[in-house]
Amino acid sequence: MSQLGLAKSFRAYMKETSAGDSTRDETSSNDQQRDQESDINASDLESNWWMTSDTVDAPNRVLRYLYPGYFESDAKAQIPLFEDESGITVTDEQTPAHATGTRKTYTTLFDHDETQFDVGHMDVIWPTYFSENEWAEPVDDRENYTDDMIKVQVDTVTVDGELRAMPIHTDANVLYYREDKLEEYGYSAPPKTDSELVDIAQDILDRDDEIEHGFIWQGGQNEGLTIMWLNWLWGRNGDLVDGDDIVVDTKAGVDALRHAVNLIHVYDVTPESVTHSSTDKNRKTFQTGNTLFMRNWPYAVSRLDDGTPVSDDFSVAPLPVHEEHPDANNACLGGWNLFINPESDQKAAAQEFLEWMASEEVQRRLALDHSRLPVRKSVYDDEDVREEFETLDVFEQALEQSQSRPSITQYPRFSEIVFTECNAALCQEKTPSQALSDAQSKIDMEVN
């Protein structure tokens, strides 16, 4: 399996993007938005950055696969199996691990016509954005795989009646916790409300020498913070949509952000470093053994189980809700899909790869080996899978308690406004009320 050779300028860009996304004010049009998201100039991208001697001299059946860094272990495990079964050679490269950096990478490549790849990954919130910009080829469901898939996942990638990507795994966020520590200090169950989490975290932080962080979550300037704010908003029975408009400056919205600020600066259960954190940074912190609670996605189960200091000591539970709204659906629906580049000259091979990744066999492997939540309903009915994937029932419950982010073309800009302003509040540069007031003004001007 050959590895793609990137131009030096592109590697520098990838390193810069993965280190952390810089954000700035942007205008409302898609073209201007994408131009400002691009941190490199067209002249910095070599037109043949993807082409190495391996790919130039390779047979015609060569598939070029660009996936997010979060999917590295999954991809490295599946690619050789696909090559053996299909006879298609796959060359592969990574974008940054998180969604925001990955979207910026694709945006840069498409905007500067540097699109020498065949298959990419599409976050569950991108289909409308990608479709409007003609960045995703319609996908054929020749084997009717989507009939066996979770309906909401299929709906998210269906734009104007056309399937624009193939779902490969879904996601729902949950609370990771140190089961051993809760038992040691007399707690028989994980917290069910926000206030219970704070009380337990404060208690164990005071009594335990090993635990340094009570609760870590995604607080950096990336999509993770938008989702965190939505978790707390929905947990307070708040809503994001009012008619045709996106509304963030509401009582529930401000209360949600104030709670996040208080976790850091009033309750002292969340470290200030959370303002620079991301999903996988939190996972790496939690697995060292110094953290009591963490909010994260299903993939972390397989990583934490892989010989880490907490392998035998953690478990997962549904996210806590506000005590006044015990039945609130506060988890956020996630998931990733495979899309075909419209400029690909290997669309038949790309279609074959999408169908192979969505097959029941691969879905089962992704679930058992990488703790990915399947999109195929039949996998949830497999008793062997349920027995081995011990926390699947909790994630299934979280899926049932999930809500979807708004499917709007301007979602990337909406999210960037929200996570930038929320981060300013977390850093105490603005009050929660001022941050969401400023966010609303920008949303009204650029999104609504």
| Equal fold, 8-171+333-403 vs 172-332+406-446 | yes
pLDDT-derived band at 60, boundaries 50, 70, 90: low
Q: What pLDDT is stored for residue 113 in this prediction?
A: 78
pTM assigned to the model: 0.81
What gap in Å lies between CA 292 and CA 283, rounded to an integer? 12
Is the pLDDT assigned to residue 1 strictly greater than 80?
no
Q: If you write DSSP's letter for every residue of 60-99 in order, what string do you get?
A: S-EEEEEEEGGGHHHHHHHHHHHHHHH--EEEEEEE-SSH
CA distance 198 to 263: 8
Average pLDDT over residues 3-16: 37
Contact in structure between 336 and 315 (CB atoms under 8 Å) = no
175, 192, 169, 196: which is closest to 379 by C-alpha?
169
Q: Residue 311: count other Cβ atoms within 10 Å of its Cβ.
A: 11
Lowest-pLDDT range of 42-51, 73-82, 400-409 = 42-51
Where do the domains of the chain lie? Answer: 8-171+333-403, 172-332+406-446
DSSP one-letter code for 185 = T
380/211 Cα distance (integer angstroms): 35
Element containing residue 440 per DSSP (H, E): helix 432-446
> What pLDDT shows up at residue 58?
40
**In CATH, what number does 8-171+333-403 get?**
3.40.190.10
Q: pLDDT by residue (tens digit) across 251-301?
A: 999 999 999 999 999 999 999 999 999 888 999 999 999 999 999 999 999
Question: What pLDDT is recorded for position 69?
Answer: 87
Query: Is the Cα torsion angle 291, 292, 295, 296 positive or negative in sign?
Result: positive
Amino acid of residue 183: E
Of 383, 412, 374, 393, nearest to 317 (Cα)? 393
Strand partners, 90: 63
For domain 172-332+406-446, give the fold.
Answer: D-Maltodextrin-Binding Protein; domain 2 (3.40.190)
